[in-house]
Amino acid sequence: MNPDHMKTVKPGGTIGILGGGQLGRMLALAAARLGIDAHIYCPEQDCPASHVSAGFSCSAYDDERRLTAFASAVDVITTEFENIPANTARFLTNRKPVFPSVKALEIAQDRVDEKAFINGQGIATAPWRRVDTLDDLKEALADIGPDGVLKTRRLGYDGKGQTRVKSIETAAAAFAGLDNAPAVLEGFIDFEREISVIVARGQDGEIRCYDPGENRHAEGILRETTVPANISPATRDNALRIAGQLAKALDYVGVMGVEMFVMRDGSLKVNEIAPRVHNTGHWTIEGCAISQFEQHIRAVCGLPLGSPARHSDAVMTNLIGDDVDAWQTLLATPGTALHLYRKGEARPGRKMGHTTRLL
């Protein structure tokens, strides 16, 4: 870390957050606990984070006038989502410290760069091939077998922009469905379970990891995370080591989520890295004295990281679409904490809230 880019935000200071969704909302609430104000920058009016934050700039991510004013109003800047335009982050970096760095964001925004970076660290992923053309696709299928997942290189999340393919015909159709946008083919792997590690790295390079959670997805969207994951101590140690190594290699500052597949022999393959607080870390609000949200605030504000110790086992369950209609029943369920994100309409696939049940 270049010392020029170190910055301590003290209580009474202000953290700028790019994005106003539920992650920004929970970050703002965590900052509040430390006496730090949040200022949200988000193109959408009435976004979840705006209602709990001291400041709110509502404009497009390329509005340089508003971005300049935003940078002036805050002490340090972070982001709640990985698809923030790199140009926006770069523009702001010239005005105030931005954590995580533009470089870390750029790597995580591009599946090809991300996988190349991970493999470059000697860390396994599923086999993959870059797919820019139909010829690339054919070659990739020949190399890593017909069974795989075709994903856009950029802007995918929650299963969007990805299709399971099983033959050259389904693959070609999927590629056409992406309007031939740059893509990546990932070989299908027969993993035993999926886990994720929430890792934090401070401005001073200190690293802290929460215990891995075990994740269950449906239709490409996370449904449930359980801690601890049902893995051996050796696999756990390896998972934490991998997450720490990736954070260090990215010169990362803040919290990031590292999703991994656990193979039947206990070995690990990294699925993806998310350069932000992560849905699979929501259980830390109830399960730990210091949540992933506060940990992220501490890291980007140059404050000491907190202990990631878990005092209780937990199951976090997402409330997706009309799952949220059960809110009154959930409120009355003993040992269950309910979080609602204050989104208006419960559209299918939309994350409306979550519960954490302490075990």
- Phi and psi at residue 25, to the nearest 5°: -60, -50
Looking at the Cβ atoms of 185 and 277, the one nearer to its own copies is 277
Using only C-alpha atoms, the chain has a radius of gyration, in whole angstroms, of 20
Nearer to its own copies, 161 or 302 (CB): 302
Query: Of the two residues 58 and 340, which places its CB atom closer to its own copies in the complex?
Result: 340
**Residue number, 51 or 216, with CB nearest to its own copies:** 51
Least distance to its own copies from the beta carbon of 288, Å? 9
Cα gap 341→282, rounded to integer Å: 13
- Please give the residue ranges that form the binding site for its own copies (CB under 8 A): 11-12, 25, 28-29, 32-37, 51-54, 286, 289-290, 298, 303-304, 306-307, 309, 311-312, 327-328, 331-332, 334-342, 344, 353, 356, 358
How many whole angstroms separate alpha carbon 37 and alpha carbon 166? Answer: 50
CB-CB contact of 118 with 142 (8 Å):
no
CA distance 128 to 131: 9
Q: CA torsion 147→152→153→155, rounded to 10°?
A: -140
| 115 vs 350, beta carbon nearer its own copies | 350
Cα angle 129, 118, 132 (rounded to 5 degrees) comes to 25
37 vs 194, which CB is nearer to its own copies? 37
For 88-101, b/e burial (b = at least 16 CB within 10 A) is bbebbbeebbbbbb
Number of Cβ atoms within 10 Å of the Cβ of 213: 30
